[in-house]
Structure 1
């Protein structure tokens, strides 16, 4: 595969993982990332089970990830007086290895850095496929041609939009929105999170895993789909303030911190449904193909899908059409099974009725139910046999 060039959009998780395996197979990957540099910090993500951990080990990054893992985050649900109502153990959300997203991206990017070209602060503006490649116009004005283009740019994928059509055709709103921002840790919080509910709304705060002086605020609320500008930070802050105005507990303090927050994560809980993940010389991987905002094990699926996509491209000996078809056939059922976990994330975080909150708390205080929940999560991260592409290509 020496000399075959692949442009990957997105430097979060799926993109760097794909670049690593493509380089191992002799491709020449380039990653374009709209952010000016790798993002630092971010929310914690997790990996669980032998499939996820086995691939991370084969990439040579598992021990490095363990060295900076968070140790997991317990979720304690309380009333307005901080009395405990229900608690989820750290391995429920944290899996076998939990790590901050920024640390994960940094480590994955470093793994394939020797053969990957990075273009930060730019994005894909136009794609024009020809018989010999894909002519790419970048937002910064440059034009280049690549043999293949892969969209690893998340649920709001620009590559998917340019290739397959508007986002509304493929992204399904699941009835909730979430937001997160940094706040001062003036409450002396540890790494665990305190979670407070009223019907249809959740407010959460937890200490920073690295900086004891910082904490993270997180909210979720039930809502029909909202029209807003994803690049208008002030508008998103206004939506959060309006939805949580008038609540007690620690909410006023968190909203005060929102006013001065430099950054805000705000998005709908949604799911990506697209029947075919490829068209011509262009394909999708990770959340761009089968994402679920929360609870869909997208980080684990991204690593598995990247491995399979690179392996099938190498095994096909240059026949990208055959490789893309085999890639989706091999990974599709596994990805959809993991993705299903995202369907109930909003209902778990912020049940719409007081009765629903009480039932959720009662169930998750039962040992048998927690064991069942953990078993289901484990099943969703397993159930796929992965070929050893390097061995078959020797």
Structure 2
């Protein structure tokens, strides 16, 4: 499926044709910024359509708000926010152990990933060419641009290519080397899928942990019938086919067999689901974010599976990359160098806290579960509420934004 822009772009980047690989969050965010500066933008996405649903993502602090306001989507995000309440850590019988405040898990504003992608797609669909159901096959750079072949479409030449295709980026593999050189496994796996709302949750969540594994159930949209389940477990690195859903379900069933609380009903829903997300909790570390006319954006360059504010980082990085290209009038050498300099430390700071995600959900021992609960009980108290908010915002605000040209 291809969506062609209606008009010929005009503006300070009208001479630039950019290919973006990936139409999740980072890709459409960059497409929105570049299109506002007049660039010709093509987004290629291997999925047949825009991906709906997915986990909830949040924004926090003045940097996120400044960028989202500049993009013109702050009000729309608020209009579609989950309005998620607090989450509660429970015992096996459902007895509350500690209440986690909404701002800890949901930031200042939270929205479903699919809803955010839809907002940015709708803002760009008349100015950006979207090619669904295809992906890059090869890249070859020349002094005149980047010659790209596709799995299905005809070969084309672009001035620049940006890999915004996630943790398992094909663009990164083609230009920067095999994934094994860049992916750092963090000793945990995570899965997500829909379940019946048997607990009657209304924009609230419950979390139950046993040593090395955890089940969380949350209702983010007020639907009285449906909820989402999150499974996290500690593990050695596993070998599995990312396309083999049956094998992934078997792994989860084995790892969560015999677990208490709602785990049996969650595993029953797992058998029936046809929309399973399953992956390692991992980080991406690359030596460089740019090489020639190719740049990495979002999870492809500095991703973390969860807990590293990846969506916020991607939005800010897209803002910076588009702004630097505009400031340099399309000179990619200058713009790419500035982008890498300004984003690297910010991204690393956010990525660093993602290392806590697995141990938070699934502490390795019963003693560590009790220690986690005690720490968050203290942090959630009225006395430390202000300190806790600042703590969660520190990484998200760890960048000074430049004044970029107005589109």
Q: Which moved more, 1:52-61 or 1:170-179?
A: 52-61
Tell me what 1:375 maps to: 390
Answering whether residue 189 of structure 2 is matched by residue 174 of structure 1, we say no
**Could you list the runs of 5+ residues in structure 2 that have no partner in the other structure?**
1-12
Counterpart CA distance in 2 for 1:55 and 1:110 is 18
Counterpart CA distance in 1 for 2:163 and 2:368 is 39
Per-residue CA deviation, residues 54-108 of structure 1 (Å, 9 max, x unaligned), is: 1111111111110110112422111111111112111111111100001000001
Answering whether residue 287 of structure 2 is matched by residue 275 of structure 1, we say yes
Per-residue CA deviation, residues 183-227 of structure 1 (Å, 9 max, x unaligned), is: 122332222111111100001112241422111111100011111
Aligned 8 A contact 1:270 1:292 in 2: yes
Aligned 8 A contact 2:81 2:110 in 1: yes
Tell me what 1:105 maps to: 117
Aligned 8 A contact 2:58 2:111 in 1: yes
Per-residue CA deviation, residues 145-202 of structure 1 (Å, 9 max, x unaligned), is: 1111000111111100110111010110011000011112233222211111110000
Give the C-alpha shift of residue 250 in structure 1.
1.3
Tell me what 1:49 maps to: 61
Scaled by the length of structure 1, what TM-score is found?
0.96
Tell me what 2:70 maps to: 58
Give the C-alpha shift of residue 142 in structure 1.
2.4
Scaled by the length of structure 2, what TM-score is found?
0.93
Q: Which moved more, 1:183-192 or 1:18-27?
A: 183-192
Tell me the SS of whatever aligns to 1:150.
strand
Structure 1 residue aligned with 2:348, among 330, 336, 360?
A: 336
Q: Tell me the matched-pair count.
A: 392
Superposed, 1:192-271 pairs within 5 Å as: 192-271=204-283
Per-residue CA deviation, residues 349-392 of structure 1 (Å, 9 max, x unaligned), is: 1100100000000111112566544322211111322122115x
Tell me what 2:403 maps to: 388
Counterpart CA distance in 2 for 1:162 and 1:12 is 20
Tell me the SS of whatever aligns to 1:389.
coil
**Could you list the runs of 5+ residues in structure 1 that have no partner in the other structure?**
none
Tell me what 1:36 maps to: 48
For residues 208 and 372 of structure 1, do their structure 2 counterparts lie closer, same or farther at Cα, with a shift above 3 Å needed? closer
Aligned 8 A contact 2:84 2:220 in 1: no
Answering whether residue 100 of structure 2 is matched by residue 85 of structure 1, we say no
Q: CA RMSD in A?
A: 1.4
